[in-house]
Amino acid sequence: MDMKHCLLRRLLGLVPLLLGISFLSFVLIQLSPGDPAEVVIRVNDMTPTPELLAEVRTQLGLDRPFPERYLRWLADVLRGDLGMSYVNGRPVAGELARALPPTLMLAGTAAAIMLACSLAVALVCVRHEGRVVDRLLRALLFLGTSVPAFWAGLLLIWLFSVHLDWLPTGGLEGPSSLVLPAVTLALPYLAAYARLLRNSMVQTAQEDFVLYARACGRSRGAILRMVLRNSLQASLTALGMSLPKLVAG
């Protein structure tokens, strides 16, 4: 029951948090320079005139007071109505539903690549701690962290799509279309998680229970699995913070 009550309190605590974020976003939009009606007109390749600006403001509800606009928007969101797109005139909810499956597919593929590669690199580094292999991999991880994702993506396109002609440059025609964007998204996270997991495992390997396991004659593989299990807490916490970034990115 305690866990259920704790989870329920956390979920209920999200309600005022989300309301505060939405209200603050509305305030920032209100204080930002520029006229949203003029933006809508220019996006649709029209010339803003005073009459057209007044008409668009009325259509968007910008002529109403700020509290009324916020409450109307909040009521529409609670009903599932996110409004219409300024660009193509289609419902925003439909556009999000259309884009969500490939977005989740891409984020999931990037997360799988990130986890598998970071775990493998960390295990190799720990197995060869202080040796040439460990130092070389750490240098490559440092290089991977410092390379901007957009530049790495361009290099991957040039090598695997233009030069070798192995993978497509765009579109979503099959699993091969996910490889380059997923690897590009996973590269910065891969380097960070591999370094984090490697350092956590090195610290855990110095604990007393690991020394006791060695004294009891446990095999190297069993000790490595024990060290890995006790080193995942920091990585799992960081993973929970990175998954929303993968989806939003």
* Encoded tokens for 100: 């969500």
Q: In the block, which residue shows the tokens 């998680």? A: 193
Q: What is the pLDDT of residue 161?
A: 81
* Encoded tokens for 14: 């999200």
Closest among 74, 86, 114, 85 to 249, alpha carbons compared: 114
Q: What is the pLDDT of residue 29?
A: 79
The one-letter code for the residue type at 183 is V
Neighbouring residues of 197: CB distance < 8 A, sequence distance ≥ 6: 118, 119, 122, 231, 232, 235
- pLDDT band, very low/low/confident/very high, at 249 (cuts 50, 70, 90): low
Q: What is the pLDDT of residue 97?
A: 83
Comparison of pLDDT for 237 and 107, the residue scoring more = 107
Phi/psi of residue 86, nearest 5 degrees: -70, -25
Say if CB 183 and CB 145 are below 8 A apart: no
pLDDT per residue as tens digits for the range 43-78: 777 777 777 778 778 877 777 888 888 888 888 888
Phi/psi of residue 162, nearest 5 degrees: -85, -50
* Encoded tokens for 245: 């970034």
pLDDT at residue 215 tops 80: no
Distance of CA 241 to the CA centre of its chain: 8
pLDDT per residue as tens digits for the range 71-99: 888 888 888 777 777 777 778 788 888 88
**Largest interatomic CA distance in the chain:** 85
In the chain the domains, ranked by start, together with CATH numbers, are: 2-94 (no CATH), 100-248 (1.10.3720.10)
Average confidence (pLDDT) over 132-137? 81
Phi/psi of residue 88, nearest 5 degrees: -115, 0
pLDDT at residue 1 tops 60: no
Average confidence (pLDDT) over 158-180? 79
CA pair distance 173, 167, nearest whole angstrom: 11
Q: What is the pLDDT of residue 2?
A: 65
* Encoded tokens for 52: 């057209």
pLDDT at residue 227 tops 80: no
3-class DSSP state for residue 29? helix
CA pair distance 110, 243, nearest whole angstrom: 10
Say if CB 66 and CB 26 are below 8 A apart: yes
- pLDDT band, very low/low/confident/very high, at 26 (cuts 50, 70, 90): confident
Q: In the block, which residue shows the tokens 């593929």? A: 109
CA pair distance 16, 82, nearest whole angstrom: 20
pLDDT at residue 234 tops 80: no
Entry pTM:
0.68
Torsion of CA 35, 37, 43, 48, to 10 degrees: -90
